Structure formats: C-alpha cells, structure tokens
Amino acid sequence: METVRWGIIGCGDVTENKSGPGFQKAEGSELVAVMRRDRERAADYAARHGVPKWYDDAEELIHDPEVDAVYIATPPASHVAYIKKVAEAGKPIYCEKPMAMSYAEGSEAVAFCAAREVPLFVAYYRRGIEKYRRVAELLNSGRIGTVRSVEVAMFARALSVPASGELPWRVRPEVSGGGLILDVGSHALDLLDYYLGPIAEVYGIASNQAGLYPAEDTVSGAWLFESGLHGSGVWCFDADRNEDGIRFVGTAGRISLSVLDVAAPVVIEDEAGEERLSFDAPEHVQQPLIQLVTDELRGRGPSPSTGESALRTDRVLEQLRAGATR
C-alpha cells in the first residue's frame, strides 16, 4: 500500500504527544480514526488532533474499511483480546508494551497473528531512535572490543498516590500485569535483546519493599545471553532520585547511556579517553519506530520491533519477577 491509514484503540495520555502525532507525520502514514469508550473524550481527541473519525466502539473502528492498520494503546489487560480481534479482521497491528499480561498470553497473541499471516509490531520505540541505534553500531563495530558484561540500573522516586486513594493502573497487577518494571523498566531489557541478542538464562527476585501498592517495587537479577555474555540489573521504584543507565563493559573500553532520558549523551571510554555523543530527542518519541513499521507495511524495509522480539522480553521480565516476592 502507498499510504497506511491508521486507527487508534485507546486514545489516552500516551497518544497525545508520544505516539499519536507520529502517525500523522510519518511518511506514507495517515491517522484516520480514533476510539475511546468515553464518547466525549474520543470526540475531543479527534477534534484537537484533526482526526476525521472517532468511535466509542472498538469493533466499529476495527471493521472500518478505511482503516488499514490498528494501534492498540490501551492498558495491557486488554491487549491480547484486541490483538485477536484486529488479526481476525486481517489488519496489521502496532501494540503498546508490554504486549500481554504474561509470557503465555503473549505467546498466544504471536501465534494467533502468525497463523493468520497478520504483522504484529510492539512499541519498543527506542529501537527506532537515532541515539539507541547509534549504540548498536558502536557495539557492532568493536569500538570497545568484545563485550564481556552489561549492567542495568534504574532508580525512581516512589509513585505518588492520589488523595482519592485510587492507584494508577500501572501499579495495579490486574490491569498492568505487575509493577513499574513492566511499563518503564522493560525498555532496558528490550534494548539488550536488540544489542546483544536473546537471553538464555535468567535468575531474579522481586519484592514490595515500600508497600505503597500491590505490585512489586524492586526487582533485581542476573542473566546469561545465548552468546555467553553476562548481565545483571536492579530496578528500584522507591529510591531517593530518578536515575537510570546501562553500562557495557568490553575488552577495550566501556559505553554508558541512559535508557529513559532520550536526550542524555552516550559516553564512550577507551584508550583514547572519554567521548560524549549528543543527540536531539524526537518531538514525538515513537515517530521513528512508527516510520519503520509503516515502511515495512509499504514494502520498504523491516521494522526492528516485532511481536517475536517483544515476546523474548516478556519471558525475561516474567523470569526476573518469578523469584521470592514478599
């Protein structure tokens, strides 16, 4: 197809700037319809963003003949049900992460789409951003020699609980599948899969140290890549500050970068000293990946983030969180 006409199921906060405008601005892409169960909010979103159609029923959007592909931007609890409905309609899918509530659910979704030959992509959008793609090039070039280990650290201040006591969906396991590692921490693990290939073995432990919500707030673990490379990480969402990073240690140097801060520099340390590479953050952080997904649907090259790659990250997340929880 020359132009991919997109519809969005769940036009909430993430679609306001991170993703929604990207479907309007990517080459060969149009955003033609949005859906939200709240009719007034659906109509308001369409009016503010110049989208021609809006619905309060997902089935109507899915079966609209002018919608070629569908972006699922609801909380994880409904992802697989919507994936199946869109796949049954024979339309390509771009789904928010995590793809499912569990590895088993994600496996079911990937198999369902494969059986119907429907493309399934997942919004691990850092795979499309220049900064993170440049790191892949550096690692593949041998700039720091052979990579021997990788360390992930992600810390964040405790989530504020509203006066109403109603918890955000991201820390309600019945809606999100677990704690914040699934929502924000997963980006680091997806990047490791992108950079270093699949992880073979995982050993993890999760706990709820602060007791602010039902989900775990701290996860740590170690893993072994299929290549034999070692990795370790800690994710703590009840810390003194917001700070995160990945450090690759090689035989001839090191590379460090922030996962969450798209504009933070990449730092390279080798025999020549320290070099800092700066990058501009995209106005809409998902647009570069949306472009790559659209390009694949138009027959112009593959997307780096698929249901299969996201499923590998789902497995690692589940195994990290499978340790003793208290």
pLDDT digits (tens, 9 = 90+) for 280-297: 999 999 999 999 999 999
Residues 84 and 154 in one domain: no
Q: What kind and span of H or E run contains 317? A: helix 307-320
Q: Give the pLDDT confidence score for residue 98 in this predicted structure.
A: 96
Residues 89 and 23 in one domain: yes
What is the per-residue pLDDT across 91-128, written as a single tens digit (0 to 9) for each? 999 999 999 999 999 999 999 999 999 999 999 999 99
What is the per-residue pLDDT across 28-86, written as a single tens digit (0 to 9) for each? 999 999 999 999 999 999 999 999 999 999 999 999 999 999 999 999 999 999 999 99
Position 102 in a domain: yes
Q: Which domain holds residue 251?
A: 130-281
pLDDT of 250 over the 70 cut: yes
What is the per-residue pLDDT across 143-157, written as a single tens digit (0 to 9) for each? 999 999 999 999 999
Q: Give the pLDDT confidence score for residue 23 in this predicted structure.
A: 98
Q: Give the pLDDT confidence score for residue 326 in this predicted structure.
A: 45
pLDDT of 205 over the 70 cut: yes
Q: Give the pLDDT confidence score for residue 324 in this predicted structure.
A: 54
Q: What mean pLDDT do residues 225-251 have?
A: 98
Residues 97 and 169 in one domain: no
Position 312 in a domain: no
Residues 180 and 244 in one domain: yes
pTM for the predicted model, two decimal places: 0.96
Position 185 in a domain: yes
Any idea what the CATH number is for the domain that residue 220 is in?
A: 3.30.360.10
Q: What mean pLDDT do residues 208-215 have?
A: 94
Segments in 163-213 forming alpha helices (H): 173-176, 180, 186-196
pLDDT band at 217 (very low <50, low <70, confident <90, very high): very high
Helix axis angle, 79-88 to 103-115, nearest 10°: 10
* Overall residue count recorded for the chain in this entry: 326
Residues 89 and 211 in one domain: no
What is the edge-to-edge ordering of all strands in the sheet holding 69-72? 53-55, 29-35, 4-9, 69-72, 93-95, 120-122
Whole-angstrom distance, CA of residue 45 vs CA of residue 23: 14
Contact 134, 277 (CB under 8 A): yes
- Structural domains in the chain (count): 2
Position 151 in a domain: yes
Kindly report the average pLDDT of the chain as a whole number. 96
pLDDT of 325 over the 70 cut: no
Residue 158, classified by CB atoms within 10 Å of its CB into exposed (0-12), middle (13-18) or buried (19+), is middle
Whole-angstrom distance, CA of residue 289 vs CA of residue 196: 19
User: What's the CA dihedral at 262, 153, 202, 188 to 10 degrees?
Assistant: 0
**Domain end position, chosen among 67, 95, 125:** 125
